[in-house]
Amino acid sequence: MFVASTSVSGISVMVVAVFVACVVEMVEALTIVVAVGHTSGWRPAIRGVAAALGALGLLVAGFGPALVQIPINTLRLIVGGVLLIFGLQWLRKAVLRSTGLKAKHDEDLIFAETVQEIESVTDLAQRERVAFMMAFKGVFLEGLEVVITVLTLGTSARHLSLAVLTALVAAVLVAVVGAIVARQLSSVPENAMKMTVGVMLVSYGTFWSGEGLGVKWPGNDLMLLGLVGVFAVATWITIAAVKATNVKERA
Amino acid sequence: MSKSLLWRILRGFGMFWWDFLVGDTPELFVSTVFILAITAVISEVGHQHSGAVVVFLPVLVVASLVISVTRAVRTARA
């Protein structure tokens, strides 16, 4: 009973982290795809998306089974270290954006820049190639972070299929919402979502790197929820402290 | 596969991981390696069951975030 409930807490954190990470990255990719579709027609946009999803699928299919073969403690140590760095980078960026020290991701600006870049190409055949490449690059580069999240969280939790399924559901959800509203999703609270993912990645990174090094966490997987709480509070305090120094600086 | 193509692939792979793990936040890479090394030493000397490492590990992680944010704030205000 205890084992079942602790596993559920660990899996829940993984599912939420993969889902939110995928939504955030796919919203960013959707902006570029919608801009390409509106400017050059939907054929090169859809072809670019399909090619990028195929390439990302190949990466998961290639690396996923290979990673599962690594002994669990070694895998968790390596993955924990990577997640710690990756999560801290996301958190740092989210803190700086929350405190106004870094510009927030502007979907409207990205949309306008993409449209302008495609419209600057006058030759129709060349324009279609540029449109395809922009849709491909937009989805592939944003999707690469999702692939890394899916591979690291999925293989270490020994639930790669669930992680892949969660990412697919998130990607389909964003695509459907994007198709319904037929525009970029600029009102999505991206920074808050990135902060949530950052907290979860850092929590998983701390937990697994510790386990890989032989640390016995009190409460086993339940400790993950405790770490999520600790890092969420620490992030909130850091933001408040930087905002306070911003006020002092202006005074 | 020609030697130059293999070299380009290996170089691209290496560059990707360098950008991904180090990039413009080398302090986060260094602090993570430091945190893992400290935890390994504490675990190796037999304190894996003690509360020390359970407290130290998250505290060091928070400290590395604070250091990195402080560095970014200073750069932004300079």
Q: What is the pLDDT of residues B11-50, one digit of tens each?
A: 888 888 898 889 889 999 999 999 999 988 888 776 655 6
Contact B21 A85 (CB under 8 A): yes
- Shortest Cα distance, chain A CAs vs residue B48, angstroms: 5
Instruction: Compute the count of residue pairs across chains A and B with CB atoms less than 8 Å apart.
Output: 93
What does the pLDDT look like over A136-185, one tens digit per residue? 998 998 888 889 888 888 888 888 899 999 999 998 888 888 777 766 56
User: How is residue A108 written in tokens?
Assistant: 């409207």
Complex-level ipTM: 0.90
Q: Compute the mean pLDDT over every residue in chain B, rounded to the nearest whole number.
A: 87
Among candidate residues A130, A110, A97, the one with its CA nearest the CA of residue A184: A110
Partners of A95 on chain B (C-beta within 8 Å) are: 65, 69
Distance of CA A232 to the CA centre of its chain: 18
Rounded to 10 deg, the angle between the A223-250 and A190-212 helix axes is: 130
In A99-222, alpha helices (H): 107-119, 124-156, 160-181, 190-212
Suggest the residue from B36, B38, B44, B50 to mutate for an interface test with chain A (most A CBs closer than 10 A): B36
Inform me whether the pLDDT recorded for A77 exceeds 50: yes
- Shortest Cα distance, chain B CAs vs residue A41, angstroms: 32
Inform me whether the pLDDT recorded for A5 exceeds 60: no
Q: What number of CA atoms fall less than 13 Å from residue B77's CA on the CB side?
A: 16
- Shortest Cα distance, chain B CAs vs residue A6, angstroms: 18
Inform me whether the pLDDT recorded for A30 exceeds 90: no
Partners of B36 on chain A (C-beta within 8 Å) are: 77, 80-81, 209, 213
C-alpha–C-alpha distance, residues A95 and A100, integer Å:
9
pLDDT recorded at residue A102: 83
B52 near A CB under 8 A: no
Inform me whether the pLDDT recorded for A25 exceeds 80: yes
Share of residues in chain A with pLDDT > 70 (%): 94
Q: Which of A101, A218, A238 sits opposite B66 (nearest CB)?
A: A238
Q: Are B33 and A203 in contact (CB under 8 A)?
A: no
For A86, the closest chain B residue by CA position comes to B21
Suggest the residue from B25, B57, B59 to mutate for an interface test with chain A (most A CBs closer than 10 A): B57
Higher pLDDT, A185 or A190: A190
Contact A215 B48 (CB under 8 A): yes
pLDDT recorded at residue A188: 66
Output the CA angle B15-B18-B23, nearest 5 degrees. 115
pLDDT band at B72 (very low <50, low <70, confident <90, very high): very high
| Ranges A51-55, A165-169, A188-192: which has the least confidence | A188-192
For B69, the closest chain A residue by CA position comes to A92
Contact A86 B76 (CB under 8 A): no
pLDDT recorded at residue A1: 36
Q: Which own/partner contact pairs does A214-222 have at CB distance under 8 Å and 24+ positions apart?
A: A214/A73, A214/B43, A214/B48, A215/B39, A215/B43, A215/B48, A215/B53, A215/B54, A215/B57, A216/B48, A216/B49, A217/B54, A218/B51, A218/B54, A219/A6, A220/A3, A220/A6, A221/A6, A221/A7, A221/A9, A221/A10, A222/A5, A222/A6, A222/A9
pLDDT recorded at residue A239: 94
Q: In a 10 Å sphere around its CB, with 0-12 CB exposed, 13-18 middle and 19+ buried, how is residue A88 labelled? A: buried
C-alpha–C-alpha distance, residues A17 and B41, integer Å:
30
Q: Which of A82, A92, A231 sits opposite B72 (nearest CB)?
A: A92
pLDDT recorded at residue A6: 44
All structural domains of chain B with their residue ranges: 23-77
